[in-house]
Amino acid sequence: MSRNVRDEINNKLSIVDIVDKYVTLKRAGTRYTGLCPFHNEKTPSFSVTPENNLFYCFGCHKGGTIFDFIMEIENMDFPEALKFLAEKAGVELDNNYSSDSPDRKKRDAIKELYKRAAVSFEYILQNKPEAEVARDYLVKRGLTEEIVKEFRIGWAPDDRSWLLKFLKTKGYSDPFLAESGLFSQRGLGYPLFSGRIMFPLRNANGEVIAFSGRTLKDFGPKYINSPETPIFYKKRNLYGLSNAVKAVRQSGYFILCEGQMDVIAYHQAGVKNAVAPLGTAYTQEQAAILKRYSDKAVLSFDGDSAGRKAINKAVILNENHGIKSKVAVFEDKDDPADLLLNKGEKALHKVLKSTINSFDYILENAINVSNIRSPDGKEDVIRKMEDYLNSLGSEVRRDGCINEIAARLGVDTASVYKDLRRGRRKPENNQPADNRRVKKSKISSELFLLIAVVVSREEYAWVRGKIDIDDLCDERARKIYIALEECYRNEETGIDSVLNRLADEELTSLIAEKVTSEEYSINSDELIKDSVKKIKKNSLLKKREEIVRKLKNVSSITEGDVNEIELLSEKIFIDQEIEKLRLGI
């Protein structure tokens, strides 16, 4: 793939526009900052520099180009990211573009398999007599034909041999199918899904990557979900996300449900911003994904005890990711799907209009299960609120909550603070410390210069006339020099061209860190000239030391000795060059 294609994409796209779809960015001088999407933080340490199309996080130290960002956040390899960004930039890729990556080929093959299976399940539900029991169930559950098609719901036949026979006719091999996630570990004679209503799970791009199958029988597990595969990670996907993204951005918030039927119920009621985990409790990874689209949430879980506990955990998880939550309150043993079925759309909309603040919800639940007439009961409430209070990123909000707790319990505010300080756990040290000052990476003067030239590419023509690669001792600086020289000769001007030639993730991240720190934003031409002078002088001094050493070791010094004359001439020349540097000539 031509590097000019990368330059063209890089020149047509602004990294701010791309990142802003995942991170809420705020302008800070010439940069943009926000909460890092790659680790949990409350204080923004993520920085984007539009001038160079680079990003860097001073917390977790991830950084690089627009391609690196998409590869990291979308879990893509480079060819996938290139194709993804080329489409957004309107850049046509070469006809011979292809990826020889075995992993990518495998992922593409599994995606194609799941796409074919989803179409088949969908067709069977809509057209086959044996799927009548499934169609009847969906009607009984109040699902319209339109919503069934929107979510591409299907039916896996009772015939356990059907899926294997069907896929074998399409040319799939036994080893490939055995690893596809559609069959049990016991063998290809045991399909994972048979006699089940099929709910396809799609990624943010709308591609089918997994299934959830619901049985209509009274025995066996009610739901079976796809195992993890090269294209599906339970913790990193949400049901209904591709259907909900547009509405989340328009409404400014997302609704988090417990299961797919609740998501479908909301969408059928015209509330299109609902999503749900699939086969797992709500995770850190899912919260980070949702934070890309909005920092506001409505939690819509069942009204039973398990639902209330899940809400408490989700509220804290969201707060840790900078997401503020409200709670849609349902009656005991009620949920969105049942409410829509039994009482209609108006009842569901009424619950949404009556959401309460997450703090009020958690405090009320804590008080309801504690005897606040007793000192032990009051202390118990404070302990139950501790995790929530510690998750808050704002001291103002925290103070307000503590004042409210004290008022509800009828105790002095100072006493609540004392109890919290006494019981506060030390923070985990396995996360990047957002609030600790991050030490800047120490680098050599040579590396400092070469990074400065990466930033100010127009200076390279002058720099290469003053120093060459032999003047550099720092191996990383030498790598950058070679990349700059190759780009110079090929007339490639984009910073991305340099970084891609390095093929060194650690060095790329270091460059991104230095660029976004704005160390080179003031008097960059003076910095470069001073650095060149220093490096050239050091190089000359080292050569001079080597000559002096050789002169001392000349075994037979006789007048007119050729070796001695050559060494002395070279020493005189170096002394003259050092003097020129001193005088600024």
Residue 437 within a domain: no
CATH code at 27?
Answer: 3.90.580.10
Strand partners, 224: 213
Within 10 Å of residue 509's Cβ, how many Cβ atoms?
20
Strand partners, 473: none
Q: For residues 461 and 511, state if they share a domain.
A: yes
Residue 260 within a domain: yes
Residue 452, burial from CB neighbour count under 10 angstroms (0-12, 13-18, 19+): buried
**Joined tokens for residue 46:** 């993520």
Residue 338's Cβ-side half-sphere holds a number of Cα atoms within 13 Å equal to 11
Q: For residues 453 and 579, state if they share a domain.
A: yes
Which of 180, 201, 232 is the last residue before a domain boundary? 232
Q: For residues 200 and 327, state if they share a domain.
A: no
CATH code at 455?
Answer: 1.10.860.10
Q: For residues 277 and 340, state if they share a domain.
A: yes
Q: How would you classify the pairing of strands 274-275 and 254-257?
A: parallel
In the prediction, which pLDDT does 438 show?
A: 39
Q: For residues 461 and 385, state if they share a domain.
A: no
In the prediction, which pLDDT does 428 show?
A: 42
In the prediction, which pLDDT does 424 show?
A: 53
Residue 454 within a domain: yes
State how many domains the chain has.
5
Q: For residues 227 and 240, state if they share a domain.
A: no
Residue 94 within a domain: no
Q: In terms of DSSP H, where are the helices of 517-561?
A: 524-553
Residue 381 within a domain: yes
Q: For residues 356 and 452, state if they share a domain.
A: no
Within 10 Å of residue 224's Cβ, how many Cβ atoms?
19
Provide the 3-class DSSP secondary structure of residue 226. coil
Residue 435 within a domain: no
Question: One digit per residue, pLDDT tens: the chain, 585 residues?
Answer: 455 688 888 888 999 999 988 888 888 888 899 888 888 777 788 999 888 888 988 888 888 889 989 988 877 777 788 888 998 998 887 654 555 567 778 888 999 999 999 999 999 999 999 999 999 999 999 999 999 999 999 999 999 999 999 999 999 999 999 989 999 878 898 899 999 999 999 988 889 999 999 999 888 788 999 988 888 888 888 999 999 988 998 899 999 999 899 999 999 999 999 999 986 789 888 898 898 788 899 999 988 888 888 999 999 999 988 899 999 998 877 889 999 999 999 999 999 999 999 999 999 989 988 888 899 989 999 999 988 898 887 889 989 999 999 999 999 889 888 888 876 544 444 444 343 333 455 688 888 888 888 888 788 888 888 888 888 888 888 889 888 887 887 777 777 778 877 767 788 888 888 877 766 665 667 788 888 888 888 888 888 888 888 777 765 555 556 577 777 887 888 888 787 777 665
Which of 58, 89, 120 is the last residue before a domain boundary? 89
Q: For residues 124 and 193, state if they share a domain.
A: yes
In the prediction, which pLDDT does 312 show?
A: 92
Calpha distance 585→583 (Å, rounded)? 6
Q: Tokens 């299907």 — which residue?
A: 154
Q: For residues 226 and 310, state if they share a domain.
A: no
CATH code at 291?
Answer: 3.40.1360.10
Q: For residues 221 and 310, state if they share a domain.
A: no
Give the range of the structural domain holding residue 344, as residue numbers without chain letter: 236-362
Residue 430 within a domain: no
CATH code at 119?
Answer: 3.90.980.10
Q: For residues 61 and 135, state if they share a domain.
A: no
Which of 66, 89, 112 is the last residue before a domain boundary? 89
Calpha distance 282→316 (Å, rounded)? 11
In the prediction, which pLDDT does 442 show?
A: 66
**Joined tokens for residue 206:** 């709308």
Q: Tokens 């609540």 — which residue?
A: 416
Q: For residues 303 and 227, state if they share a domain.
A: no
Residue 428 within a domain: no
